[in-house]
A and B are shown apart, each in its own frame.
Chain A
Amino acid sequence: MKLLRDTWLMFVRYFLIFIGNPAWVIIGVIQPVLYLLLFAPLLKSIVHIPGFPPGGAYNVFVPGLLIQLGLFGASGVGFGLIDELRSGVIERFRVTPVSRLALLLGRACRDILTLLIQSLILMGLAIPFGLQPTFLGVVVMLGLVALIGLGMSSLAYAAALALKDENSYAPLVFTLSLPLLLLSGVLLPLQLAPQWLQDIAKANPLSYAVTAARDVFNGNGGSPDVWKGLAIMAALAIVGIAIGARRFSRAIA
């Protein structure tokens, strides 16, 4: 009960801070829209290459783009926390009886909500291009984005609390998120990759999310890969929360 209340209080706080600065919402949407406008048309010409998954360029590309949105959106959240850490606010909260887990979950819920809003905007914008969403597809897609948001933002917060400084946080996040992105098959399907690259990609949890997202968007809602993707993202979220919560409850010197 206390956890729920505290999480809600934190969520409202960070949501108000977020919408107080709409630039971030706009930037968050503009980036994937640029991919949609400037990159997706390239795919149209390679749709017919053997190995390219069925469903057409946009039904293949947009699900991946949404996963990318989740990854990049969540990995940037640590900057706000570092800013707040420096202002003494986190220390102030830690002297109150607030639940330590709520300090993490309230923020993460805000991150998830903004990701979901961005995802819906992006899917809506992709329809005129040729995206053909299904109800199940959209629901599962949002579920995957939410789980990625929860897991990755928790890990990002843990990293921010450990590093306490933008100058070490930024390089870490960019160094880690690029291989995660490249090895997930977001930009081009991994089916086109050589075998060794496909083998490495199997170690990347996000590649399962991308596969699941594509399957469900292309009418394979019941495929075991969808369940596998959801389960792996749920596991990522749990691990992320465990690590993030531990960091929040430990002394922040």
Chain B
Amino acid sequence: MIHTKGLRRTFKGRRGAVEAVAGVDLDVLGGQTFGFLGPNGAGKTTTLRMLSTLLPVTSGQATVAGCDLRHQPAKVRERIGYVSQEGSSYSEVTGRRELTMQGRLYGMNRAVADKRAAELLETLELTDCGDRKTKTYSGGQKRRLDVGIGLMHLPDLLFLDEPTTGLDPQSRARMWDEVRRLRESGTTVFLTTHYLEEADALCDRIAIIDHGRIVAEGTPEELKREIAGDVVLVGPEGSPDKARDILKGQDFIRELTVENEVLRLYVDRGETALPQIIRLLDGAGINLATLSLHRPSLDDVFFRKTGRSLRETAP
């Protein structure tokens, strides 16, 4: 559904060209829900804007929904839906009117557009507020309407730019259901998110972009498996520096990083590592405030691949 090779985009800045996307290869199969993750400024939005025809490509090849992105952008537009981060409805227009307008722009006649709009309002549980101006909508209703607008013309491929950012947990869960329903209906979804548990819960495959390049790609399971072993979080009382110095040289610790006064250790076997850590720190007179053992999560994958925690980079 999406196939790119060496996709690049440079912006002309005051100090010469800035490479926002530096050669991205992506393969998204039809019917998949694909998660696209990355810290802010990594090239995530630039890539999304290129794939949805909003931004011209500097170089490289891309096929989107079966059409060449650079030479047939008009054909691509007919086949994709795009839901931007900012939203897509205007405060002074009713939800129903936004939907029919969208349908009409894709060539539907009034009757077809009205019918499809009513259908979408129904499935998105917006029928009650469909005839109210969107400025009266809650955050979750507005976001569902955005998705409805993107789906109005039954696209093969839907781009969702951070569909749940800023939503309360209940609305987020509701949006997740919507994405799952899309997957069941065979629509390919390409989504960006700041929430790794979201990517883990929804996506068939995930790509992580950093500094304009793809640094990891695979199913959530594959990516987690790549980080063999377990993660131990050690929170010493006071400064973590002394504890770090003691643990740094130990053979059983494969990698050690410090984040927010907490040591993050990657170890092969958590159950045997814990007693060793306690013994070492106890021997050095360091008291522990917290100690926990985790299976690697996508957060750990992200952290290992980009050196940053995704939460830190969230806006």
Q: A and B from one assembly?
A: yes
Residues of A participating in the B interface, judged by any CB pair closer than 8 Å: 6, 9, 13, 16-17, 20-21, 83-84, 86-89, 91-98, 251-253
Closest-by-CB residue of A relative to B46 is A253
Knowing A91-B54, A95-B53, A96-B77, the reply to whether A9 touches B104 (Cβ < 8 A) is yes
Contact partners of A20 in chain B: CB under 8 A? 92
Which of A9, A21, A87, A95 is in CB contact (< 8 Å) with B90? A87
A17 to B101, CA, bound (A): 13
Least Cβ–Cβ distance between A18 and chain B, in angstroms: 9
Q: Is the CB of A86 within 8 A of B106?
A: no
A28 to B136, CA, bound (A): 27
A87 to B135, CA, bound (A): 11
Q: Is the CB of B105 within 8 A of A97?
A: yes
Q: Mark B73-92, 1 if CB is under 8 A from A, else 0.
A: 01001101110111111111
Q: Can you give 29 contacting A-B residue pairs, CB < 8 Å?
A: A6-B105, A9-B101, A13-B101, A21-B92, A83-B91, A84-B90, A86-B86, A87-B86, A87-B88, A87-B89, A87-B91, A88-B84, A88-B85, A88-B88, A88-B89, A89-B88, A91-B54, A92-B82, A92-B102, A94-B53, A94-B54, A95-B52, A95-B54, A96-B77, A97-B77, A97-B105, A97-B107, A98-B105, A251-B56
- B167 beta carbon closer than 8 Å to chain A: no
Least Cβ–Cβ distance between A88 and chain B, in angstroms: 3
- B149 beta carbon closer than 8 Å to chain A: yes
Q: Is the CB of B88 within 8 A of A91?
A: yes
A86 to B88, CA, bound (A): 9
Q: Is the CB of B84 within 8 A of A96?
A: no
Q: Is the CB of B77 within 8 A of A251?
A: no
Least Cβ–Cβ distance between B92 and chain A, in angstroms: 5
Closest-by-CB residue of A relative to B104 is A9
- B93 beta carbon closer than 8 Å to chain A: yes
Q: Is the CB of A13 within 8 A of B93?
A: yes
Contact partners of A89 in chain B: CB under 8 A? 88-90
Q: Is the CB of A95 within 8 A of B77?
A: yes
A84 to B91, CA, bound (A): 9
Least Cβ–Cβ distance between B120 and chain A, in angstroms: 15
Contact partners of A253 in chain B: CB under 8 A? 55
A49 to B36, CA, bound (A): 75
Q: Is the CB of B101 within 8 A of A95?
A: no
Q: Is the CB of B86 within 8 A of A88?
A: yes
Q: Is the CB of A9 within 8 A of B84?
A: no
A91 to B161, CA, bound (A): 13
Contact partners of B77 in chain A: CB under 8 A? 95-97
A96 to B53, CA, bound (A): 10
Q: Is the CB of B89 within 8 A of A96?
A: no
A98 to B88, CA, bound (A): 15
Which of B81, B87, B97 is in CB contact (< 8 Å) with A87? B87
A87 to B90, CA, bound (A): 6
Q: Mark B48-72, 1 if CB is under 8 A from A, else 0.
A: 0000111110000000000000000
A88 to B86, CA, bound (A): 5
Knowing A21-B92, A88-B88, A89-B88, the reply to whether A95 touches B80 (Cβ < 8 A) is yes
A197 to B84, CA, bound (A): 51
A92 to B102, CA, bound (A): 9
Contact partners of A97 in chain B: CB under 8 A? 74, 77-78, 105-107
Least Cβ–Cβ distance between A145 and chain B, in angstroms: 26
Contact partners of B88 in chain A: CB under 8 A? 87-89, 91-92
Contact partners of A16 in chain B: CB under 8 A? 93, 97
Q: Is the CB of B82 within 8 A of A95?
A: yes
Which of A84, A86, A93 is in CB contact (< 8 Å) with B105? A93
**Residue among A16, A17, A88, A92 with most chain B CB within 10 A:** A92
For the complex of A and B, list the 6 residue pairs with the smallest distance between their C-beta atoms, beginning with the closest. A88-B86, A92-B88, A95-B82, A96-B105, A88-B87, A98-B105
